[in-house]
A and B are shown apart, each in its own frame.
Chain A
Amino acid sequence: MTLKELERIRAKAQKELAVRGVEISPDSELKPPRPGEVRVVLRNCGQIDPERIEDYIAKDGYFALYKVLNMTPEQVIEEAKRSGLRGRGGAGFPPGQKWFFARQAVASRPAPADGTPPAYLICNGDEGDPGAFMDRAVLEGDPNSVLEGMAIAAYAMGATQGYIYVRAEYPVAVEHLQTAIPQARRLGLLGKNIFGKGFDFDVDIRIGAGAFVCGEETALIDSIEGRRGEPRPRPPFPAVSGLWGKPTSVNNVETLANIPQIFLNGADWFAGMGTEKSKGTKTFAIAGKVKNAGLIEVPMGITMREIIYDIGEGILNKKKFKAAQTGGPLGGCLPAKYLDTPIDFESLAAAGSLMGSGGLIVLDENDCMVDVARFFMDFTQDESCGKCPPCCLGTKRLLEILTRMTQAEGTAEDLQTIEYLTENISTTSLCALGQGSVNPVVTTMRHFRDEYESHVYKKFCPSGVCKGMFHYEILADVCNGCGVCRKKCPDKVIKGDKKVVHEIDLPNCIVCGDCYKACKFDAIAIRPGPTPKSRLPERR
């Protein structure tokens, strides 16, 4: 492949794409850009056919790689650093740094005699955070941008073999990569002596098998090596001793998808976006109790209010905003008072949460924060690898306490024990999963302690979630006897004639909540105390 050929392919493909066009399916989570959005990572998603490398080239694909191969690796690392790009996987560590350390490690050891690669570049596509799906969107919609990013990263750090680790839960993403990689090879954009610059690089796909912890880089490395994905203590860092003991850089999908753009448009262009410490754009997956859920990409520093109310068009059925859960299971729940703080790595961390991979789940007044904490603890506990006691046993104990609380069995000591556990788990656990696992609990305890106390002291779940800790009451002064609730009630325990105030036959009410959801006049209220029939849901 030469620049000339690449340009010829681009010209041809651009014409052809203009005629053909590509339309987005209406139910896609990726709607056309909304006001306030700036698309860098998602720019091609839905704009091109992901299974045609020519389409990607039409959008200047692989021109960044050509440019990079005419620079020295040191210059590439410098440029990446200058752009201010920080890892999008969660920790926010600058990829340029990772490449730099890896490159040093490669230089510090003799070239392998057995012909094995001197170093590896791994693309972490094990997008495990519940509520985050931007990596899937990119891998499905624009796989080549990730491959090009990988090639550039590999050149910078000195790797000749790359692995892209994708969740088994993403079959389409895998398919599209399985198409994209051979296409890139055929055009000589992967393989030996790329662009005749003597740079070799190829990519293999590794499919995950359902273990959240494999998102942690050392666990991911073990998994690629064919073992149980159990994090190892660092040091040694992967940059020094990673995959099969070789220097290795693990970068996240979104991070790598940014790279080609940075080298096409220059570090300054990228650094021009975002805040002082967090440059560029960030994708967010908005979901939960928000009207216009979906995937967006916005400049760093935008406020949560803009995301939820402007782009997300506000809360579903006129409910009140209670909290935004950001950063997945290792992130936290932020109350209304943070709506106007600009979102970047620092501010979220300061608030006790995490940028994470950019999941943003909106919770409303009917979400119980104790139950949400229990939900996340159930998740991390289930996903804990079991290697170190603080995570394996600590999260188990936390889960047990939170479960008791949501079952009206919480005690005052439990509140202290929770604090004791969270404090120590975060400082003694081996890996980020264990250390961060407590954040959902810590943040809800900090911002919604009243809900915990209500559960413990009043045995009352004010949000009407924890079965057996509340009941419904029809407010006589509000009910207009429209009868909607009566019709909705599955067990037919709501009595009342048309236009007459209705009444719930409490002893027989199973507290399913259908009436509460159905009532358009907020005439049904959540009250303390269980009903005889309100049973507990089975817990897994």
Chain B
Amino acid sequence: MSMDLLAHLQELDNLITREKPKGGALIPVLHQAQELYGYLPKELQDYIADGLGIPQSNVYGVVTFYAFFTTKPRGRHRVGLCLGTACYVRGNTKNLERLSRELGVNAGESTPDLRYSLEVCRCIGLCSKAPAIMIDKSVHSKVQPDQVAEILSRYE
């Protein structure tokens, strides 16, 4: 077993034993496992599959179905740019172009130093604050392209 799986093994085991009795434990477990490890590599998925008695293939099928789960390590800060209708018509694509340029990565990628990962999300319900960007859990509303650099700098 690799070190990074051992890192939170205790929590992981507790989590599995806690959720297993409830029906439909897989998605809650994946959520919390991703919280613990930041992402869901094969070894972790297989461990969860074994723990919950679910076929490995099914776990992977679920992980790849839901946009929220990732099998690759992600940046410390998740930059989520909304491309819901309101944000789109209010010009968030311009902000997206700017973000990509500033971070040097495309949507869905993370910076090499794993400081940021850039994600495009579908409407985070901030339509009246469009165009909006959500970094980690904090919201930035009515963002203009030239503000992007400064906003990013606030996240170490």
Contacts and interface: CB of A to CB of B under 8 A. Distances in A.
B127 A287 contact: yes
A225 interface: yes
B31 A29 contact: no
B50 to A, nearest CB: 15
Contacts of A538: 97
A244 B31 CA distance: 21
A359 B122 contact: no
A293 B127 contact: yes
A6 B93 CA distance: 51
A325 B128 CA distance: 15
B44 to A, nearest CB: 16
B85 A130 contact: yes
Contacts of B68: 168, 208-210
Residue among B30, B68, B88, B128 with max Cβ neighbours from chain A (10 Å): B128
A473 interface: no
A226 B86 contact: no
Given A132-B127, A169-B124, A210-B69, 10 more contacts: A29-B127, A133-B123, A133-B128, A168-B31, A169-B121, A209-B69, A287-B128, A288-B89, A293-B127, A382-B122
B100 to A, nearest CB: 8
Interface string B29-59: 0110000000000000000000000100010
A359 B137 contact: no
B108 to A, nearest CB: 9
B66 A226 contact: no
B107 interface: yes
Nearest to B61: A228
B123 A131 contact: yes
28 contacts: A27-B129, A27-B141, A29-B126, A130-B86, A131-B123, A132-B125, A133-B128, A171-B137, A207-B31, A209-B66, A209-B68, A210-B121, A211-B67, A224-B24, A225-B24, A226-B25, A227-B58, A228-B62, A287-B85, A288-B127, A289-B90, A293-B86, A359-B127, A361-B86, A372-B89, A376-B85, A382-B122, A540-B107
Contact of A287 (B23, B54, B67, B86): B86
Contacts of A199: none
Contacts of A237: none
B120 A128 contact: no
A285 B128 contact: yes
A344 interface: no
Contacts of A294: 128
Contacts of B79: none
B85 A293 contact: no
Contact of B27 (A133, A226, A383): A226
Contacts of A288: 85-86, 89-90, 127, 130
A211 B66 contact: yes
Contact of B24 (A168, A206, A295): A206
Nearest to A386: B65
Contact of B86 (A131, A208, A225, A537): A131
A131 B84 contact: yes
Contact of A131 (B58, B121, B127): B127
Nearest to A383: B122
A228 B86 CA distance: 28
Given A224-B24, A287-B130, A288-B90, A210 B66 contact: yes
B54 to A, nearest CB: 8
B22 A223 contact: no
Report the interface size class on chain A: 35 or more
A359 B84 CA distance: 11
A29 B66 contact: no
A254 interface: no
Interface string A252-294: 0000000000000000000000000000000001111100011
B129 A29 contact: yes
A204 interface: yes
Contacts of B31: 168, 207, 209
A210 B127 CA distance: 18
Interface residues of B, number: 40
Interface string B107-139: 100000000000011111111111000000100
A54 interface: no
Nearest to B23: A244
A10 B28 CA distance: 36
Interface of A: 27, 29, 127-133, 136, 168-171, 204, 206-212, 223-229, 244, 285-289, 293-295, 325, 328, 359, 361, 363, 367, 372, 375-376, 379, 382-383, 385, 537-538, 540
Given A287-B128, A293-B127, A206 B28 contact: yes
A212 B85 CA distance: 14
A262 B120 CA distance: 40
A177 to B, nearest CB: 14
B12 interface: no
Given A204-B22, A209-B67, A361-B89, A127 B125 contact: yes
A331 B2 CA distance: 49
A35 B30 CA distance: 46
A226 B88 CA distance: 32
A435 to B, nearest CB: 20
Contact of A130 (B120, B123, B129): B123
B65 A375 contact: no
B120 A211 contact: no
B26 interface: yes
Contact of B93 (A226, A383, A537): A537
A224 B27 CA distance: 8
B27 A206 contact: yes
A214 B121 CA distance: 16
Given A133-B125, A170-B125, A209-B31, A325 B62 contact: no
Nearest to B108: A540
Residue among B27, B61, B67, B86 with max Cβ neighbours from chain A (10 Å): B86
Nearest to B27: A226
A129 B27 contact: no
A385 B62 CA distance: 12
Contacts of A361: 85-86, 89, 127
Nearest to B30: A209
B23 A359 contact: no
A207 B121 CA distance: 16
Contact of A228 (B30, B65, B121, B127): B65
A224 B24 CA distance: 6
